[in-house]
Amino acid sequence: MAISRVLITGGAGFIGSHLADLFLERDCDVVVMDNLLTGDIRNIEHLFGNPRFQFIHHDVTDFIHVTGKIDAILHFASPASPIDYQEYPIQTLKVGSLGTHKALGLAKACGARFLLASTSEVYGDPLVHPQPETYWGNVNPIGVRGVYDEAKRFAEAMTLAYHRAHGVDTRIVRIFNTYGPRMRLDDGRALPNFICQALSEQSLTVFGDGSQTRSFCHVSDLIDGIWRLLESDVVEPVNLGNPDEIPIIDFAKEVIAMTKSDSGISYLPLPEDDPQVRQPDITLAKSLLGWSPEVSLAEGLSSTIPYFERALRSRGSESVTFTES
């Protein structure tokens, strides 16, 4: 099926807005739907003059309607950083459940392909390492992260139910830690916190002893993988992420070195249910999509740091406060 018009829910967010750029570059019409709860209109303001672009300010958990044909729906709406989904726990559960239901209903009505943005959080604090798609996970449903993890697990179940019961053509991407320009300075994640702290000569806030690991993927690699998945016929969930795993303490030191900062490190308590390890097994993405990430952490950081420098400067003399857990 040729895709010429797409709906991106959460398209004013970090990843959604990069997808909007990609689809426009590839000659598709793009409709972005976002309620701007954690998204930012500045991420898409450069697209407003483009006749192929349309923005609908709307909450996807309410009934959604889009005029004209839609070939594909990419469902990216959701708070996605730990502090965001803990600040908006009910909205997070609603967008993963009711929002996914509405978006799937629209896909069924339009005959559109549907791609769900799922997450490595479906694996919880994993007992299998690295995590293949066949691993069912270790999630605390009633913990502080449960609102996100369970919403996304429900969203995956709902997506497969629409595929099996209604024949909707579905895709599921499990996204691991991703970074790059347009991340919010204050979204509380390790990478924006560390870069902003290093650039402002504040101590980097490492939670716990920093031995917990993550694997950071540059957004350009991620969106290339999402494009390939959408174009493929792979219905089963596919991990996309960079398998280059690093302890958080080493990551903090790398940021200090790359920003040539004099910042030190301060150790703060580890948040509840913080996964101890995380690394994607990308065997499936390699074999089914011919995809693997190309941007190393050093390259990705050196192209991302200038974005944070500019963003901090544009805040002028406003003082920046960092969320610490």
Which residues in this chain contact ligand UDP in the complex, by CB under 6 A? 81-82, 177, 188-190, 193, 205-207, 212, 214, 248, 271, 274
CB of 39 to ligand UDP, least distance (A): 18
DSSP 115-128: EEEEEGGGGBS-SS
Residue type, 127: L
Concerning whether 267 is annotated as a catalytic residue, the answer is no
Pick 188 or 225: Cβ nearer ligand UDP: 188
N-to-C CA span, the chain: 45
CB of 259 to ligand UDP, least distance (A): 15
Please classify residue 118 by burial: count the beta carbons closer than 10 Å to its beta carbon, then call 0-12 exposed, 13-18 middle and 19+ buried.
buried
CA dist 131 → 79, 82, 235 (Å): 23, 20, 19
Pick 55 or 216: Cβ nearer ligand UDP: 216
Catalytic pick from 85, 88, 148, 179? 148
CB of 252 to ligand UDP, least distance (A): 7
Cβ(20)–Cβ(30) below 8 Å: yes
Length of the chain in terms of residues written: 325
CA dist 114 → 20, 144, 182 (Å): 15, 29, 25
Pick 4 or 325: Cβ nearer ligand UDP: 325
Pick 104 or 190: Cβ nearer ligand UDP: 190
CB of 179 to ligand UDP, least distance (A): 9
Distance CA 261, CA 285 (A): 37
| Residues with catalytic function | 148
